[in-house]
Amino acid sequence: MKRIIFLLPMILLAFSLSAQDTIKAVFDEVDQRAEKAYNDGINYFNKKNYDKALSSFTEAIKAKPGFYKAFYNRGVVRSELKDFKGAISDFDQVIIIDSGEVANAFFGRARAKQTTGDNDGALVDFTGAIGKDPNFEQSYYYRGVIKFGMEDYPGAIEDFTSAIKIKPDYAYAYNDRGSAKRKSDDLDGAIADYKKATELNSKLAFSFNNLGSTHRKKEDFKTAVTDYSMAISAKPDYYMAYNNRGAVKFEMEDYNGAIEDYTKAIELKSDYAYAYNNRGNAKMKLKQYDAALADYNQAIQLDPNYGYAYLNRGIVKESLGNAEGACADWQKAASLGIKNATTYVNEQCN
């Protein structure tokens, strides 16, 4: 880093030796004050005392206006405090100063933009970070995440692959590349990536869950049940995995097992409308119509626009001899865009 004294060479030349020594001492004191504030900021940050860290880095910048590391770290602190506009402003300064932290500043600014929904701006900045540091694996990864969200699955796969080449044990990149492959109907490739992610990190419950969903899509239900069970072992309160395992058991015609899993999902998340609807479906298969009706009622209470719950409740009402109520539910489901409901209305309600 250049010392401030070197920014004023013409003025320094005009002073005698003793004057230069005096100026140098003044700037040394300024540097020391800035460095102390900077180090205080790091200590506060490590203790998660972000307000004091912010104040310390600001003090360092006031003492040394070109202190790019203080600008960078203040940007990081502001991101932690969700002051993303302020963070972007600080990262701007690092990039303007054009210091050794430019790649990190591009990355930090990209993450701030991504968090605030400016994905186009984030894409540009992640690319800028890669331009400054071609081995910046996180920039590839997060750029891939944005491309995935934009449904650019080939581009996402390319970025996740680049991240993995740089960091071969990047479990999250394997998981997300698997998801991009699954969206591209490369189910075998997706399974291979999900398996690699779980090998690298056995606690990635969502990777086991994704693996189960891919096996389910291939109609390998037995393996899917095992995968969802692994997800639950990794995360015992994983209500979605219970719901998904219940759905596979339903397809295997193990309706009692499905009800058990849906019930567990509801215990973990009492407002889980999907699990109520799904449990209602299993109860309907067992001709437990009153119990199924109660579940559909609860699903609709939780989500008044849940079209499939209206469709299914209509079917149960018909089974219970309530033709008028059935038609009302099917009409509601049809108004919510459920195509099958229109068929019921045309065939049963006219």
**Residue 282 and residue 255 in contact, taking contact as beta carbons nearer than 8 Å:** yes
Q: What are 52's two structure tokens?
A: 């004091």
Measure the CA–CA gap between 276 and 255, rounded to whole angstroms: 14
Confidence grade of residue 24 (pLDDT, cut at 50, 70, 90): very low
- Tens of pLDDT, residues 36-75: 999 999 999 999 999 999 999 999 999 999 899 999 999 9
Q: What are 18's two structure tokens?
A: 């003793």
Q: Is the pLDDT of residue 316 over 70?
A: yes
Alpha helices in the chain (DSSP H): 9-13, 17-46, 50-63, 68-80, 84-97, 102-115, 119-132, 137-149, 153-166, 171-183, 187-200, 205-217, 221-234, 239-251, 255-268, 273-285, 289-302, 307-319, 323-335, 339-348
**Residue 310 and residue 297 in contact, taking contact as beta carbons nearer than 8 Å:** no
Q: What are 316's two structure tokens?
A: 């149960």
Q: What are the percentages of helix, strand and coil residues in the chain, rounded to 5?
A: 80, 0, 20
Work out whether the CA dihedral 291, 296, 302, 304 comes out positive or negative.
negative
DSSP structural state of residue 14: T
Question: Which pTM was predicted?
Answer: 0.86
- Percentage above 70 pLDDT, the chain: 91
pLDDT at 328: 97
